[in-house]
Amino acid sequence: MNHVKTNSQKTRERVLLAILIAITIVIAVVQQFFPRIGLSITLLPIPMGIAAVMLGPLAGAVIGFIFGLTALCQCIPVIPFFGIDLVGVELFQLNWFYTIIICIIARIAAGWLTGVIANGMKRHAPTGRKLKIREIVGMICAPLLNTVLFLSLLALLFSGVTLTIGGSSYDIIRNIVLPAISINFVIEIITCSVVGIAICAALKQYTASAKRSV
């Protein structure tokens, strides 16, 4: 019976990971049609955080990779499926290798670290509150780490670079990195956290009922 439960759990985890991969791709496609006010807000940390909290660091890293891959595609004009990021296009033309690091490696690290932190909360949280604390901390860490790692690498690798977009010049630090630490950043953290925590709570109830039915 225990062996059957283990197999059932593994199957549910694989299905959930596949669903989260699909959701990540759908969000990446759909959000290109969202109205942009200043710097854009992304909802992609939500599936990354859910994967990290519910399935662990490896799953968080997998979704982070998919997240980063969709971001990289926006930097390559010949792959317009996820929309075009004008800043990303300029960065890719300046240094494609650094752009890959910023888009993909930063997101993989964010997903993995979110899972590590969430697992740490599970070990050290008071009995009876473990999952709730994991949900809250993990879903805050996902958008926070995503932004911090992305902007840190952007500032480090492209420091002193000035981009020319539409005839206007933009300094990486002054015109892109610093404005990103703004109200948009706060809204992104709050939105991703609230939605992610609610989804994690629903998944927790579903998982618990599925275990009882086995």
Per-10-residue mean pLDDT of the chain, 214 residues long, equals 63 92 92 63 92 95 97 84 81 94 97 95 65 85 94 91 80 82 82 90 73 58
Query: Which helix (H) or strand (E) element contains residue 171?
Result: strand 168-171
Domain range annotation of the chain: 17-29+42-213
What is the reported pLDDT for 205?
77
Give the whole-angstrom CA distance, residue 137 versus residue 158. 31
The token duo for 188 is 């992104």
CA distance 214 to 5: 7
Q: Report the pLDDT value the prediction gives residue 36, as an integer from 0 to 100.
A: 56
Class of domain 17-29+42-213: mainly alpha
- Of 92, 58, 53, 56, give the one whose Cα is nearest residue 72: 92
Residue 212 is predicted with a pLDDT of 57
From the list 95, 114, 101, 98, the residue with the least C-alpha distance to 48 is 114
What does the pLDDT read at residue 5? 53
Q: What is the DSSP string of 28-83?
A: HHHGGGSPP-SSPP--THHHHHHHHHHH-HHHHHHHHHHHHHHHHHTT-TT-GGG-
Instruction: Answer for the pair 64, 48: CB distance below 8 angstroms, yes or no.
Output: yes
How confident is the model at residue 4, as a pLDDT?
A: 47
What integer pLDDT is reported at residue 38 of this predicted model? 44
CA-CA distance, 78 to 51, in Å (whole number)?
A: 30
Residue 168's DSSP bridge partners are: 165
